[in-house]
Structure 1
Amino acid sequence: METSTFVYDGDCAFCSRCAEFIERRIPTGARVLPWQFADLDALGLTEAECEEAVQWVGADGSRAAGPDAIARLLDDSAPVWRAAGLGLRFPPVRAAAWPAYRWVARNRHRLPGGTAACSLPQEARERLYGPTGRPADS
């Protein structure tokens, strides 16, 4: 793999807004893409892993999930963002980051930019909205 990849849930409006922020504000050489459009096999990821948390697959094959993936993304950026990534890896911060991340993941449909589809597992989203994200009966 030549480029590191940061994978998020493209069916979630909150996650997509966060990815847009990354693309606009955080200068990184990593690809930032929704898992629904990623070659998960080539990345060594599963749908279940991607539904559970954002994922980082480094160009060197390293992997991380959740706040650890965010820290790796920040590490691959400009100095001020690298400092934020270092802070996120600081043991007391990291210990608090995982419960906070899980809370956000469970409640992302309630957060700004979130939609009801954000709270559904992929199988249920596809059943209701189809693989394209549009309602199945339209």
Structure 2
Amino acid sequence: MSPLRRRDRPVLVYDGDCGFCTSSARFLERHVPVRAEFVPFQFADLEDLGTTVERAEHEVLWVDRLGRVSGGADAVGRLLTDAGGAWRAVGVVMRVAPVSWAARAVYRLVATNRHRMPGGTAACSLPAAERPGGSRPPR
């Protein structure tokens, strides 16, 4: 992997082949004053971002301005913290025990069942390489 590098904006990496993930990312872009760039992992330079395809297939990723990568519920908490205002308080609380334990459990439950969520399809339950019409970047 390449060394971490500073960036102008944080990056949220999500699964662009998953309807639920894409809908969730669009919701956040519309309703939370984020300064981040939203990128489907299928079109991201994951090596440059300091992560892997395997991790991006498993969870949403937050890459901060310093190049540090967080995943899952912690990534969502960091996105909310970065948004500022009341969102900052929600994001901070999400990342502090015992709320962080519940946030991780809820995130994992939703991620495991994303094909059952609104906007999700049966393809969302398959690994990216096995999805119909799905794309997987070269390793």
- TM-score relative to the length of structure 2: 0.88
Spell out, residue by residue over 1:40-79, the C-alpha distance to the aligned partner (whole angstroms, 9 max, x if none).
1110111100011000111112221000000111111131
**More helix, by proportion:** 1
User: Is the 1:53–1:105 Cα contact (8 Å) retained in structure 2?
Assistant: yes
Task: Name the counterpart of 1:42.
Answer: 48
CA distance in 2, matches of 1:130, 1:56: 22
Structure 1 unaligned residues grouped into runs of 5+ = 133-138
1:1-138 aligned at under 5 Å gives the runs 1-125=7-131, 128-131=132-135
User: Is the 1:68–1:89 Cα contact (8 Å) retained in structure 2?
Assistant: yes
CA distance in 1, matches of 2:99, 2:24: 20
1:87/1:25 Cα in 2 relative to 1: closer, same or farther (>3 Å)? same
Aligned residue for 1:17, secondary structure, equals helix
RMSD: 1.4
CA distance in 1, matches of 2:69, 2:43: 19
Structure 2 unaligned residues grouped into runs of 5+ = 1-6
1:89 corresponds to which letter in structure 2? R
- TM-score relative to the length of structure 1: 0.89
Spell out, residue by residue over 1:10-56, the C-alpha distance to the aligned partner (whole angstroms, 9 max, x if none).
11101111000111011111111111111111101111000110001
User: Is the 1:26–1:78 Cα contact (8 Å) retained in structure 2?
Assistant: no
Aligned residue for 2:13, secondary structure, equals strand
CA distance in 2, matches of 1:92, 1:131: 37
Deviation at 1:131, TM superposition (A): 2.9
